[in-house]
Amino acid sequence: MTRRDIVTMAVRGESPPYVPWHCDFTVEPRAALVEYFGTDDIDGAIDNHLVQLSNPVGFYEPLGNDLYRDFFGVRWNRAVDKDIGMVEGEVLPEPTLADYTFPDPHDPRFFEDIPAKLARHPDSFRVFCIGFSLFERAWTLRGMEKLMMDFYEHPGFVHQLLDAIADFNVALATKALRDFDIDAIYFGDDWGQQQGLIMGPRLWREFLKPRLARMYAVAKEAGKFQFIHSCGDVDELFDDLVEIGLDCFNPFQPEVMNVHELLPRYRGRLAFHGGLSTQRTLPHGTPSEVRAETRELLELGRQGSYIFAPAHAVEGDAPLENILAFIDELQAQRG
């Protein structure tokens, strides 16, 4: 069976021959793995099972002095955070879209890497990634504080803004599904804090859920899977997400949700991708503790509805020996 087959079985809630995995890394640990394995192809070196198509966070124009501008016009400062950075300024200082033009969802940069990636990873499960896909895109344009106030003071503007972002995402996903043989659309949109939702469940259901349903329908109507990445304590939304067509949720953080209770409860209705603690075990545990937690998660996932991963892209505070410990356990399960 191919990696594509194994992931498909797992997402459907069937029992695969082994638990599939896909692990991401930020700049520092990725560099350490490149040196350790002697290759830039970390996906191949650790046998990741997904191939991520397009760029999850878009494209950036360097402005100098660690400043970058993304394709929506947002300025990012990467002086400290080298992966994405911190937003500087506001593209929409006022609650209006009158003077703003959205980027072209058919921009060839979104699709130019796909043929080469599929050729390099022909048997991997294919996911087309759209990051900052709704709430995150809105607050990066407007500013977090102003957007949160807009929910109450300018709700009409928020509806207009979110509709425009959803329109962009629908057009982008539709073209990807039409032009390429892919398996899933993978949106990224953080809604959670360490405790509860940033905007609360009422506002989430009023403003975000209808647009998410429209976005998810693109994949579902094409007979494909729908994935989401959303950090934080958001498990109160799982029933809503299943209702509107979600198939797989990431990052499945053990620090904010009970992974051992949730996976059996939703098995067959919702798959999970993640689970290994990146706040406790990976940075602060021993290699033996990392191995033990990895084995527990693999055992939990043997009946399906699970793709193993650390609960977030591995950060620079994780020792290399701990990273290699979970990689070794993943590869050992296949004998």
Task: Give pLDDT tens digits along the chain (335 positions).
Answer: 999 999 999 999 999 999 999 999 999 999 999 999 999 999 999 999 999 999 766 788 999 999 999 999 999 999 888 778 899 989 999 999 999 999 999 999 999 999 999 999 999 999 999 999 999 999 999 999 999 999 999 999 999 999 999 999 999 999 999 999 999 999 999 999 999 999 999 999 999 999 999 999 999 999 999 999 999 999 999 999 999 999 999 999 999 999 999 999 999 999 999 999 999 999 999 999 999 999 999 999 999 999 999 999 999 999 999 999 999 999 999 86
Q: Round to whole Å and give the CA distance between 84 and 76.
A: 7
Q: What is the pLDDT of residue 56?
A: 64
With H, G, I as helix, E, B as strand and everything else as coil, classify residue 154. Answer: coil
Q: Give residue 99's pLDDT.
A: 93
The Cα–Cα gap between 280 and 25 comes to 16
Please tell me the predicted confidence (pLDDT) of residue 57. 65
User: Can you read off the two tokens belonging to residue 253?
Assistant: 């953080």
Q: pTM of the prediction? A: 0.95
Distance of CA 65 to the CA centre of its chain: 28
If DSSP codes are grouped into helix, strand and coil, which group holds residue 314? Answer: strand
Do the beta carbons of residue 306 and residue 22 sit within 8 Å?
no
Distance from the Cα of residue 268 to its chain's centroid? 21
Residue 102 is predicted with a pLDDT of 96
